Structure 1
Amino acid sequence: MILVTGATGTVGSAVVHRLAADLPVRIMARDPVRVAGAATTAEIVRGDFSETESLRCALRGVDVAFLVTNSLAHDDTRFIRAAQSAGVRRVVKLSAAAVADSCADDLITRWQRRNEDLLRGSGMEWTLLRPRSFMSNVLSWAGSIRAENVVRALYGTSANACVDPRDIAEVAVRTLTEEGHEGRTHTLTGPEAITAVEQTAQLAELLGRPLRFEELCPEQARVAWGRHYPPAVVEALLESAERQRDGTKAQVGTEVFRLLGRSAGAFRGWASDHLSAFATP
């Protein structure tokens, strides 16, 4: 039995779409009615990382689990203990590329490191997926593009080897359904390092209308992010952006090609497939 968590999120939902109908799959979600695209053979259950009993029920009979957590309020201790008790053999965890950066010491990266350490010390087999930033993060620009033909971002000429979430999902499915990934860490990037200015230009070309890029200063970014995130997370995002400005996120890897036998998807392809999100109503 394969358990998928985070099934309503960016990567987890794509994993659900890609798991074959003939596989025994259980999908855990806090709100099961939000799960979309699952095979009719999949079992969908309610579960919450803060509720031990719901985790025990979701993990019963599970052999391999896909672990996606995003709440900084608690670490993965409760899930890992429940998985150990249930006899789970292996956990595939979605982490982040920043964990390997010795200069990264922000709140979010420290939380990811802590969770990785918990899994490696659990006695279960483990596989770590460490993606660079998701290409889908640019969906946060959709409102200003639709309304004003404007993109506003911090450090617009800094490059990031961002990755298509669909590639992450495809790698996740491979690691969940194939042997040989035990004790392995896969760092996942796109095929090129691209800047926000370049992404804006590609979106403008695909949309067939001019877009303007407006550079935010750090204080403007702090205010903008503060509308959506608590102060500690905002400071972590600012630290992350500064590392990107310094070039630490521009390295392109080959893991996607090695694991999938094809090149990683480029930003232009992702944008073409999601162009309706930016189109003028």
Structure 2
Amino acid sequence: MILVTGATGTVGREVVRRLPAGPAVRIMARDPGRVPSAAHRAEVVRGDFTDPASLAGALKGVSSVFLVSSHIGDDDARFLETARTAGVRHVVKLSAAAVADSGAQDLITRWQRRNEDLLRACALEWTLLRPRSFMSNALSWAASIRSDGVVRALHGASANSCVDPRDIAEVAVRALTEEGHTGQVHTLTGPQAVTAVEQTAVLAELLGRPLRCEELDPQQARTVLRKRYPPLVVEALLESAQRQREGAKARVVRAIPVLLGRPAGSFRGWAKDHLAAFAGG
């Protein structure tokens, strides 16, 4: 049986959609009511990373796990210990490309590094997925594009080799269902590094109307981010953005073409498929 965590999130829901018929699938969710309808063939159970009893129930009879954790703390340690006790064989962990950058020392990256170390040390087979930023992060601009025709971004001219979450999910499914991924680290990027200015131009072309990219200074970005994240996370995101400004996130890796036998999805392709979000009513 395959257990999918994070099935209500950006990558997890795409993993659920792509899992082939055959292996039994169980979804662990804190709120089972939020699990997408595409998961109709899967068993859905309530599970919370902070509740060891619920983890034990979710992991019973499971052989492989897609592990997504999002709260900085001890969730991974608790989950992995329960998984080991339950007899899980293989964990496919969603991590981050910044882990491999020795210059990245922000809170989020250090937490991801610690989680990777825990996985390697827990006597389970493992596969690490290290994506760059998700192309879907552009959805945070949708409201301002619809209302004002504006993309507001910090360091708008800095490049990021962002990746289509659907590609991440497809690699995750391969790792969960095929041999040959144990002990592998897959760094996942898009086919080219793009800037917010360039993404704005692509969206303008697809929408058929002018858009402009408005540069935020760090304090303006801090104010915007604090509406969504705790202060320590905000500072970590600002540190990460500075690393991008310095060019640390522009490198393209060809793992997706090698693993999937096709080119990695482009931002233009992702934007075409999600254009309704930017066009509004």
The 4+ residue runs of structure 1 with deviation greater than 2 A are 37-41
Kept in 1: contact 2:127–2:183 (CA 8 A): yes
Match of 1:156, SS state, is coil
Counterpart residue type for residue 156 of structure 1: G
Kept in 2: contact 1:161–1:192 (CA 8 A): yes
Partners of 1:129 and 1:44 in 2: CA distance: 24
Partner of 2:58: 58
Counterpart residue type for residue 185 of structure 1: V
Partner of 1:154: 154
Partner of 1:168: 168
Partners of 2:8 and 2:39 in 1: CA distance: 14
Q: Tell me how many residue pairs correspond in the alignment.
A: 281
Partners of 1:149 and 1:161 in 2: CA distance: 24
Partner of 1:120: 120
Counterpart residue type for residue 112 of structure 1: Q
Match of 2:172, SS state, is helix
Partners of 2:133 and 2:126 in 1: CA distance: 22
- 2:256 is the alignment partner of 1:256: yes
Partners of 2:125 and 2:112 in 1: CA distance: 18
Partner of 1:207: 207
- 2:13 is the alignment partner of 1:13: yes
Partner of 2:272: 272
Task: Give the Å deviation of 1:33.
Answer: 1.6
Aligned CA RMSD, in angstroms, stands at 0.9
Partners of 1:42 and 1:145 in 2: CA distance: 37
1:155-201 per-position Cα deviation (integer Å, ceiling 9, x unaligned): 01100000000000000000000111111000000000000000000
- 2:104 is the alignment partner of 1:104: yes
Counterpart residue type for residue 163 of structure 1: V
Task: Give the Å deviation of 1:228.
Answer: 1.1
- What TM-score results when the alignment is normalised by the length of structure 1? 0.98
Partners of 1:115 and 1:2 in 2: CA distance: 21
Q: Which 10-residue stretch deviates more, 181-190 or 72-81?
A: 72-81
Partner of 1:185: 185
Kept in 2: contact 1:22–1:41 (CA 8 A): no
- 2:6 is the alignment partner of 1:2: no
Partner of 1:243: 243
Counterpart residue type for residue 25 of structure 1: V
Partner of 1:34: 34
Counterpart residue type for residue 108 of structure 2: I
Counterpart residue type for residue 9 of structure 1: G
Counterpart residue type for residue 107 of structure 1: L
Kept in 2: contact 1:161–1:191 (CA 8 A): yes
Instruction: In structure 1, list runs of 5 or more residues that go unmatched.
Output: none
Task: Give the Å deviation of 1:227.
Answer: 1.3
Partners of 1:199 and 1:15 in 2: CA distance: 26
Task: Give the Å deviation of 1:226.
Answer: 1.1
Instruction: In structure 2, list runs of 5 or more residues that go unmatched.
Output: none
Match of 2:78, SS state, is helix
Q: Which 10-residue stretch deviates more, 143-152 or 29-38?
A: 29-38
Counterpart residue type for residue 52 of structure 1: P
Correspondence 1:69-84 to 2 at 5 A: 69-84=69-84
Task: Give the Å deviation of 1:39.
Answer: 4.7
Q: Which 10-residue stretch deviates more, 164-173 or 230-239?
A: 230-239
Task: Give the Å deviation of 1:94.
Answer: 0.1
Match of 2:258, SS state, is helix
Partners of 2:58 and 2:280 in 1: CA distance: 42
Partners of 1:70 and 1:41 in 2: CA distance: 25
Partner of 1:226: 226
Partners of 1:103 and 1:212 in 2: CA distance: 32
Kept in 1: contact 2:135–2:163 (CA 8 A): yes
Kept in 2: contact 1:163–1:265 (CA 8 A): yes
Task: Give the Å deviation of 1:269.
Answer: 0.3
Partners of 1:74 and 1:255 in 2: CA distance: 30
- What TM-score results when the alignment is normalised by the length of structure 2? 0.98
Partners of 2:177 and 2:130 in 1: CA distance: 18
